[in-house]
Amino acid sequence: MSTLPPRAGRRCHNAINPLHSTVYFSPDLGKELGELGIDDSNAAYFAARSAAMGAVGPGTVTAAFYNFNHDLVTRHLPAVWSVASPQAVLDARLRAADTTLRRLLGEEIIASPELAEAAELALRAAQGCTRHARPLYAAHADLPVPKEPHLAYWHAGTLLREHRGDGHLAALMTAGLDPLEALVSHTATGKGMNPRWVLATRGWQRDDWDAACERLRGRGLLDAEGELTEAGVALRAELEGATDRMDAAPYEHLGAEGVERLTELARGYLFTAASAGAFPDDLMGKG
């Protein structure tokens, strides 16, 4: 039985994960990888997020990332590793995280004891993560923890993000949602990525999106207007509940008081970053 309030782990994740994600929207990542010769934004994303697994091919990335069109992945992998090694990419990604966080949070927060406290709490939570059946988490767990508190916090955010993400993919498969059906149903909640962003970054075409909508309608999960039905709402709720259960260990390890404090600190940093323009204005929404 959980010792935490309901959805406490999810709330903590939702505060930490977006700050981790800022690096993927940051011009600093493009600059750092561009200096290595990786100029394409899709290639940069695939390389930066998969480099912890080594010089993997497109099959591994399609499997681990789940919602990208395999044809898009094959355009960039394994070719990107002939341009820059995984270690060079990891080093560049960490430099980008450093520059991005300093710009978004400011030097006063970067140097604060509260950020060092947040890093310690997040790393302690990550000690409760498990490697089995979690390839992206496990690969990142093998990386060294940066010494600087803001980078240690970002690294811990990476671990917690990928740990939950790996579990979420298991929940999606159990629910019978293929990669694009997962994206369509998430967008229909109003909390997912805008369809324009999905189509621009995931390698799918509008016809693919429409076909996924039809499949979901056929299962009674989406109505004619593209809204979730009662069954669709229930399925998405069960997906998140199943993900919560598979992701409970790090937050149980940290304990209720630590989770509450980490969530409080993380929300403050996320608000500061978002206010500084960390994310595109049209990133989220139904369309």
Q: Give the per-residue pLDDT at 136.
A: 98
Per-residue pLDDT of the chain (287 residues), as tens digits, is 678 999 999 999 999 999 999 999 999 999 999 999 999 999 999 999 999 999 999 999 999 999 999 999 999 999 999 999 999 999 999 999 999 999 999 999 999 999 999 999 999 999 999 999 999 999 999 999 999 999 999 999 999 999 999 999 999 999 999 999 999 999 999 988 899 999 999 999 999 999 999 999 999 999 999 999 999 999 999 999 999 999 999 999 999 999 999 999 999 999 999 999 999 988 888 76
Q: Give the per-residue pLDDT at 203.
A: 96
Amino acid (1-letter code) at residue 67: N
Return all residues near 154 (Cβ < 8 A) that are at least 6 apart: 19, 20, 23, 97, 101, 146
